[in-house]
Structure 1
């Protein structure tokens, strides 16, 4: 039988450690031994090379054998039942005993294999933890710790008391996975690592992934020699014999990590993952400066401390955020009250301390209609105006916040004393208008555990990269940044900005309403004067005209023989002018009434309206020999007397504007058309009643199709076709009163078609 090892011998250095397959090292740590069997079988397929050290039987004997051939039959039977369970409880290992030695056997499934990791009891006893005491201690800690950092310190102290490690640290990651020691419990003679930061390169991405999958990791002796895993070399089997040891407690460690720990002077470690929302929030990192094997149940007690802490992280963070948000909300309410209660709210708001408190800002500025209002510590007016101009162009009609303004606005480096961080909201009231909350620069000294720029160094050969060797305190000064804005502060700033914009809009609307009120008063006065003018036109102007007409007629009737031809002609012209002026006054009054009289709509039969109109025009129809033919017209909701006037005007025009020696022929049609056929920008209805008046008159040029409805618009000489030019303007006004339209189409010399459109109810 040929035996081969499955050790991964890829050369690893910091240039390729991000892709190092640390989950399949093919070797284990020597404080226990490993067996691997196929799932559903008990035949040993894998064995670590150190099995003889623990049970006196080497891999050459174990491989290919059944578990019952190695361990007593009763134990093998019980293990078969244990390993066959759907979910194996890793917290309760199986116990094998052989040759007077008991082994804690943790079991997990890896692909199609069942991995058995056997560790002897370090002191030969079980040493079960007192979970009641541990839980009671945690509850006591939870009650007395005021904040998250206090709680982390208590957990560090308690974990060190449970495990006996020389140093226990609580390690929190930032967004880039740089870590910071936020709590530490240590031997008094050790140098403190508290508040030191470690670059993200110290824990590569695939290592962080394993910390998520396996929350507990122990290295018993940094100076250990890896023990290879062996399997039978079956040349006929071309399969992959690597074992995924992601969940293994004995898994061998990356050589890079071992070198890193040696450079720190550490002898043994225990690492517990702190997870939030399936992401790595931080670690409990335990260091010992000599080899240390922690028993299984003590490891579980330490892991329980991690579970205790993770259960409180979100609660404590939310509580701290809530405490701040309470203060922020209180300031927001005060600022909003000032905004609504003060007439000159812009002047009052920019001086109010609440404006700063609602975002915990050190300065604020509002730019509105060319005026700059400032509050707190702010840059000069010219620097602020430049900043508002930049933000208005970069973030039009939107919001923006940052704790590093110089990242987007390089000129901010010169004003970081006042404006290292900013919350900005644009306002639509004017060019570059907006509101700003500012935070001063917070110069931060970061204590790195060694220079982060030298986190990787060439090795002695100068070829490959290796972990840094120095962990001496290295301080970095961070400038041009402010404290980050909290979500509650950003939300409060957004709420105030929205309320301010509404208030500005309200003021604009109110100013417009005041202007409209003045205009309405002026219009009311003008209408009153126009009504007086109508009264004058009706009585004071028409009465003198009647007298002129009467006296002119008397002169012509009584004095005719005694008058010269020139005098009679002048008097006749005077009488004709008076009649024309009287007609013009009456048409103007009719046009005025079409827009001002009460609009009472009545369901009316248009056929009846047409009969009344034709009866009224019967003398003119007979005189001209006109023929009028009409289709059946609909019933419509109309203003009856206005539509009566409309029909009179359209039919009268068709009779009047006829070619010489030709009888007028008028045809009236009715149809229903879609709104798309009506040339209105905004249609009042989806469909319209279209009533068309076709005539055989003189027509007009196409260029006059729109102008023909303008008041006083005449296309023909008055001596040939008398009139005032107001009739079609009256028609247009009537159709507007009915939310309809009138249009005209014509071929010069052949006739015209005037169509009126009433909305279908």
Structure 2
């Protein structure tokens, strides 16, 4: 057999992780068995069952539950078939009455038995209970009434109603009813560590919790070694067990308070633990099943009333803040008046949150009103908020320093904030501020007085619960749910307004840019007209006069003058070529030509015929594989291939015949990486030659306008426009151009077209 007692030692470092739902023990006043519903065998049991059944544990574990309780076979068979939790059934065993409760946990049926206690004479009917809960008045008045009634029904020495702070999870006693001679705890606050997170989770799952005798020792649970299949868990989850034992640290906590028994009723709102009805007794106390059921009903009804009262308060507050919001929304609609400087001056902006200050941060510029931190401190705070988990959903707190230590320096203006982002990619946001209040908090004992009691760090709960006062300066008045929600709506509206303004500004900028581009285009067209017409006539006259001087008067001219006229004529021819190329480049426009089906094979053949004399003169060869038909502008595509073929002929090696080849292939890996394209969406037409080549470092710059290399053959200096025309043609055809070369070996030009161009 295996003793399941949880022997984990609670220390400073692990107290918030103590597995209190699997203690491996139960309270001593009852008995527990776990049953496998598949075959009815007992998988776990409490040690004290040996006394109850007069059998050793070895004969209980593994045995069918119906054999252990043959006289209750019908009842047990019915319970084994139920899916939920059952209670209220009374059995007799050895002339003693027992209450039996069952529920399911991890596939097992947990059966609990406890001696039946005679019901308390003080009871309450359902109509009386409803009348009690509906008593008009404030929340505190209602809690006072409920505390008195719970004490009358359950008979405990002290009944407190305890409310948790939604932010720091500390608790405050807001109502109390107690017996004579008891020290009052009304108004005292208790730190969150008194009820750690795992305990809060259990209070939500199981809304009734009874500790009948803090002086009794817990009873261990036992099980048999597993069969290795994992179908039966070794440890039992007792989250829903009434008899679940208590953490030793909590038992000591209660003993230090002089408590012999405790009882709690969970108050749950919106699925969260709002508070507790906490009952204490100076001696052991055993509430009856009827009392527990009544207490559970009181807890449910009080929880519903708390939710109703808070919603009514929130609704009333929302109506008031709604007026402030509507005034601001009307202001947003006035395009002539709206602006961030004007917005922060609107008094409704502060009133809607009952804030002391507000700051709107847009593009690192701050628009503020009221009591706010200095600009540099505001920007540092906003940067912290932007980088935190609050950056997308907004954030509100009454104690900023608990999240942002640097807030200590600005607590007089910014202890409490409501923050809403206006743009998730920048610091743009709106923040409301409240100053810290100098207030005295009265704690039930010093909050941080839990200390390790030995070198191993095991915890000793505090032993003093006398009122201990603390002055707090960095906590503001708390923000209400209505204020957080209404400011979120304002932030949403402001976010939309800023986006609209941004789009309008971009539209205005685009319009202004388009107007500038139109003016520049007109200017370029004038320059193109001048270069195409006005400059050609004086250039022609220079060429004519130079030719006439060389042909008629050359014998009367000196050699120096003849050389100057020759150089002038060469320069004039180069200028003429430059004007022709500029004109050709300017005329390459996608809008001025119609796209049609183009047979590239016929197009290249026409170029070869036009250049046949040059091919024969250089003994060059043109080898063309089958090329596709594409959709394009025939004139531009002819310019493209003409420039590339002419370029290859121009840069032939004088000592070796040139071979120019054209074929269809896939884009190279280098081109794919350079342009960020996918190979399956493009095809390439590559033109290769055996010319002089060029330095690969220039593979991109050669396509720039007027860009020339230093390896051009004598007498064949170009204008640096031809390859720029090629690039412009490819751009007009949604394509790309890429070059690879090796000096002294040759070059390859890749024309990369999208597959959508293929017919």
TM-score, length-scaled by structure 2:
0.71
Q: Secondary structure at the match of 2:88?
A: coil
Look up the match of 1:68. none
**Aligned-pair CA distance for 1:158:** 3.8
Structure 1 residues 83, 589: CA separation in 2 closer, same or farther (over 3 Å shift)? closer
Q: Is 1:389 the equivalent of 2:383? A: no
**The one of 269, 291, 300 aligned to 1:307:** 300
Structure 1 residues 13, 716: CA separation in 2 closer, same or farther (over 3 Å shift)? closer
Structure 1 residues 606, 141: CA separation in 2 closer, same or farther (over 3 Å shift)? same
| Counterpart-to-counterpart distance in 1, 2:649 and 2:278 | 106
Alignment of 1:197-236 (within 5 A): 197-198=189-190, 215=208, 217=210
Q: Is 1:90 the equivalent of 2:87? A: yes
Deviations 1:648-673 (Å, cap 9, x if unpaired)? 2233334444455x785443321221
Q: Is 1:170 the equivalent of 2:165? A: no
Look up the match of 1:364. 358
For these two proteins, the number of residue pairs brought into alignment is 692
| Counterpart-to-counterpart distance in 2, 1:757 and 1:707 | 18
**Aligned-pair CA distance for 1:639:** 1.2
Q: Secondary structure at the match of 2:536?
A: helix
Look up the match of 1:136. 127
Structure 1 residues 652, 346: CA separation in 2 closer, same or farther (over 3 Å shift)? same
**Aligned-pair CA distance for 1:604:** 0.6
**Aligned-pair CA distance for 1:254:** 8.8
Look up the match of 2:146. 155
**Aligned-pair CA distance for 1:370:** 6.0
Look up the match of 2:584. 590
Alignment of 1:281-320 (within 5 A): 281-286=274-279, 297-298=290-291, 300-314=293-307, 316-317=309-310
Q: Confirm or deny: 8 A CA contact 1:219 1:268 kept in the other structure.
A: yes
Deviations 1:200-239 (Å, cap 9, x if unpaired)? 677799998997658263869x9xx979999xxxxxxxxx
Look up the match of 2:594. 600
Q: Confirm or deny: 8 A CA contact 2:740 2:748 kept in the other structure.
A: yes
Q: Confirm or deny: 8 A CA contact 1:657 1:721 kept in the other structure.
A: no
**Aligned-pair CA distance for 1:482:** 2.0
Structure 1 residues 632, 368: CA separation in 2 closer, same or farther (over 3 Å shift)? closer
**Aligned-pair CA distance for 1:481:** 1.1
Q: How well do the aligned residues superpose, as a CA RMSD in angstroms?
A: 5.7
Structure 1 residues 171, 25: CA separation in 2 closer, same or farther (over 3 Å shift)? same
**Aligned-pair CA distance for 1:590:** 0.9
Deviations 1:454-493 (Å, cap 9, x if unpaired)? 78999xxxxx97974x765444333311244456655655
Q: Confirm or deny: 8 A CA contact 1:545 1:578 kept in the other structure.
A: yes
Q: Secondary structure at the match of 1:385?
A: helix
Q: Is 1:734 the equivalent of 2:729? A: yes
**The one of 176, 194, 213 aligned to 2:186:** 194
| Counterpart-to-counterpart distance in 2, 1:493 and 1:545 | 74
Look up the match of 1:181. 173
| Counterpart-to-counterpart distance in 2, 1:274 and 1:226 | 28
Look up the match of 1:54. none
Moved more, 503-512 or 603-612: 503-512
Q: Is 1:422 the equivalent of 2:417? A: yes
**Aligned-pair CA distance for 1:285:** 3.9
Q: Confirm or deny: 8 A CA contact 1:659 1:697 kept in the other structure.
A: yes
Structure 1 residues 594, 140: CA separation in 2 closer, same or farther (over 3 Å shift)? same
Deviations 1:556-575 (Å, cap 9, x if unpaired)? 66x56985566777766665
Look up the match of 2:521. 527
**Aligned-pair CA distance for 1:374:** 1.9
Q: Confirm or deny: 8 A CA contact 1:401 1:424 kept in the other structure.
A: yes
Structure 1 residues 178, 432: CA separation in 2 closer, same or farther (over 3 Å shift)? closer
Deviations 1:502-559 (Å, cap 9, x if unpaired)? 65566556545544544433332232122223223333332344444455556666x5
Look up the match of 2:665. 672
**Aligned-pair CA distance for 1:350:** 1.6
Q: Secondary structure at the match of 2:587?
A: helix
| Counterpart-to-counterpart distance in 2, 1:227 and 1:698 | 99
Deviations 1:680-701 (Å, cap 9, x if unpaired)? 4244874544334444445445
Q: Secondary structure at the match of 1:93?
A: strand
Whose radius of gyration is greater, 1 or 2?
1
Q: Confirm or deny: 8 A CA contact 1:22 1:254 kept in the other structure.
A: no
Structure 1 residues 104, 448: CA separation in 2 closer, same or farther (over 3 Å shift)? farther
Q: Secondary structure at the match of 1:674?
A: coil
**Aligned-pair CA distance for 1:640:** 0.6
Alignment of 1:626-705 (within 5 A): 626-659=620-653, 665-674=658-667, 676-678=669-671, 680-683=674-677, 686-702=680-696, 704-705=698-699
Q: Confirm or deny: 8 A CA contact 2:599 2:630 kept in the other structure.
A: yes
Q: Is 1:106 the equivalent of 2:99? A: yes
Q: Confirm or deny: 8 A CA contact 1:629 1:667 kept in the other structure.
A: yes
Alignment of 1:481-520 (within 5 A): 481-485=475-479, 489-490=483-484, 493=487, 496-497=490-491, 500=494, 504=498, 507=501, 510-511=504-505, 513-520=507-514
Alignment of 1:12-23 (within 5 A): none
| Counterpart-to-counterpart distance in 2, 1:326 and 1:169 | 34
**Aligned-pair CA distance for 1:638:** 1.9
Q: Confirm or deny: 8 A CA contact 1:356 1:364 kept in the other structure.
A: yes
Structure 1 residues 146, 376: CA separation in 2 closer, same or farther (over 3 Å shift)? farther
| Counterpart-to-counterpart distance in 1, 2:287 and 2:323 | 52
| Counterpart-to-counterpart distance in 2, 1:214 and 1:717 | 92
Q: Secondary structure at the match of 1:594?
A: coil
Q: Secondary structure at the match of 1:415?
A: helix
Q: Secondary structure at the match of 1:153?
A: helix
Q: Confirm or deny: 8 A CA contact 1:365 1:436 kept in the other structure.
A: yes
Q: Secondary structure at the match of 1:352?
A: coil
Look up the match of 1:374. 368
Deviations 1:562-605 (Å, cap 9, x if unpaired)? 85566777766665554443333222211211247624322210
- Which sections of structure 1, spanning at least 5 residues, go unmatched? 1-5, 29-33, 50-58, 66-75, 231-243, 459-463
Q: Confirm or deny: 8 A CA contact 1:104 1:121 kept in the other structure.
A: no
| Counterpart-to-counterpart distance in 2, 1:333 and 1:261 | 57
**Aligned-pair CA distance for 1:635:** 0.9
